[in-house]
Amino acid sequence: MAARSRFPAGLALDTHKQQACGTPIVELALPAQVVLALDQGTGYGAEPVVAVGAAVAMGTLVARTDHPFASALHAPLAGTVVAIETRAAAVAGGRSVCIVIAGDGSDRVDDGVTPVPDADALSPDELAQRLRAAGIAGLGGAGFPTATKLASARDRRAQTLLLNGAECEPWICCDDALMRSAADDVVLGALILRRAAGAVRCVIAIEDDKPAAIAAVTGAIGRRRDDALTLEVIPAVYPQGAERQLVTTVTGVEVPSGGLPADAGVICQNVATAAAVARWATSGEPLLSRVVTVTGSGVERPCNVRAPIGTPLAALIAASGGYRGTPLRLIAGGSMTGRALPSDEVGLTKAMNCVFVATRDDIGARLGAVELPCIRCGDCASVCPAGLLPQQLHRAALADAHDALRDLGVRDCIDCGLCDYVCPSQIPLADRFRDAKRRLDEAAATAQKAADARQRHELHMRRLQEAATAEHRAFEDVRRRVRQPGDDPTDGAD
């Protein structure tokens, strides 16, 4: 039953999961206010469909979108829209337009929220559309709209739905807690997603350091009696939960460079996303809440919390007993791949699986780190799960050598942070690669714009020239006519 990790490298990290996992999931009381960022972490935002002052109920659509990378937003509580403005948000760049809703304490539910009794009768296309309308997005950390992934899986005829319960980041355990407490939901959601993806089988993959989750999911699968639904226990190796690496471990197939898992016949979904799909099917509830790990040495009682999307992080931290000691950084995501947040007023996003309140104990070693020259020890290359050569990539990144970066495969870097974790010279490799990728994108956009400008300029010049030629010809015509023999040329010139 146990598979070996089959991607190139990776590392078993010290785990800190016990901090938050000892206690059951805390259900957060409805906050007084929620801050819904239009961009939920993918870089693309939805468009508001409500105005300031509008009354909303739980589940009312407040922002819609046609963009494949953005997801619709619904009011997670009943109340009034009090602001639509740019605020600090847990997104790249630190700011996004947000819809702020003040709760009125009632439990009014939008009329549109009704159970979906016929989920089994819906065609895969209809299912995907309904999931898009419900704003369901990847809860594993990417926030990518589920319907978009389902569509690409159907286009590529992916046969396997791989449900990701690996959760390899050392501090995060929200998926573990969810699998233990709602394994039946996970399995129900998996079956719906399997149909929506047009896949024939479903594999739920869980790392072997989560025996309670494995037992719960095994039980739930047993109650279903479905031969095309299996559990795969995989070794706990970071970054096992990264999509490409997980696909390689479970199927033995490598995802082609620059390709999608669907190119290898697999669609990945997170276990928490499956549970959200099950909630939608049984109650009609769009994606209104998620389970998030609040942890780190900077909080009093690390725990997992189910909270409405948009809940200000300060409320989550309060639910975990408040701050402890001197927190240094507030990080969204785990210690390996997380991003620093601007403040604890930002709202919880669909993509946020962990609020990591770090103190000097957690990240002190890195804070004091002085970057030294690369000693070419090769440690980074031996752990890179993408099979890259970080030391060479780093040279190319410092020189901003775009061709070399591309040739060395910087696009396949999954930002896992292992290379800087092991680097004895404390070089912030992953950060540099993240930057390099951004610069490559910018250079590509600039080149595209220049090419467009060149083409438009050529057309512009050609048009001016044609206009000038036409004018010249008209002038010649007039001259020829006025110079008819017998006419007085000076008269006709006027």
Partner 1 sequence: MSTDAVVMAVLVAAALAVTLGVALGWAASRIEPDADSLVERIDALLPQTQCGQCRYPGCRPYAAAIAAGAAEIDRCPPGGAATVRALAALLDRPPRPLDPAFGGPKPARVAWIDEERCIGCARCLPACPVDAIVGAPRQMHTVIAAQCTGCELCLPPCPVDCIELRPVPAVSLRYRQPRAA
b or e along 319-344 (b: 16 or more beta carbons within 10 Å of the residue's beta carbon)? Answer: bbeebbeebbbbbbbbbbbbeebeeb
Q: How far is the CB of 416 from ligand SF4 (least distance, A)?
A: 4
> Which residue in the set 92, 102, 401, 482 belongs to the binding site for partner 1 (CB under 8 A)?
92
C-alpha dihedral (449, 454, 456, 458), degrees to nearest 10:
180
Residue 262 binds to ligand SF4 (criterion: CB under 6 A): no
Gap between the Cα atoms of 276 and 29, Å rounded = 19
Q: Which is nearer to partner 1, 93 or 485 (CB)?
A: 93
Q: What order of strands is seen across the sheet that includes strand 47-48?
A: 47-48, 61-64, 73-74
Residue 408 binds to ligand SF4 (criterion: CB under 6 A): no
Residue 141 binds to partner 1 (criterion: CB under 8 A): yes
CA 16 from chain center: how many Å? 23
Residue 73 binds to ligand SF4 (criterion: CB under 6 A): no
Nearest to 355 by CA among 379, 380, 329: 329
Question: Which stretch, 14-22, 147-155, 340-348, 442-450, contacts partner 1 (CB under 8 A)?
Answer: 442-450
Residue 423 binds to ligand SF4 (criterion: CB under 6 A): yes
Gap between the Cα atoms of 116 and 174, Å rounded = 26
Q: How far is the CB of 226 from ligand SF4 (least distance, A)?
A: 35
Interface positions, 468-487, toward partner 1 (CB under 8 A)? none
> Which residue in the set 128, 158, 331, 388 belongs to the binding site for ligand SF4 (CB under 6 A)?
388
Using left for φ > 0, alpha for ψ between -120 and 50, and beta otherwise, residue 158 falls in beta
Residue 244 binds to partner 1 (criterion: CB under 8 A): yes
Interface positions, 368-427, toward partner 1 (CB under 8 A)? 414-416
Interface positions, 25-64, toward partner 1 (CB under 8 A)? 39, 42-44
Residue 194 structure tokens = 């399997």
Q: Which is nearer to ligand SF4, 101 or 388 (CB)?
A: 388
Which does residue 424 touch among ligand SF4, partner 1, none (CB within 5 to 8 A, set by kind)? ligand SF4
Which does residue 375 touch among partner 1, ligand SF4, none (CB within 5 to 8 A, set by kind)? ligand SF4
Using left for φ > 0, alpha for ψ between -120 and 50, and beta otherwise, residue 169 falls in beta
Size of the site for ligand SF4 (CB under 6 A): 30
C-alpha separations of 216 from 207, 210, 293 in Å: 14, 10, 20
Q: Which is nearer to ligand SF4, 327 or 390 (CB)?
A: 390
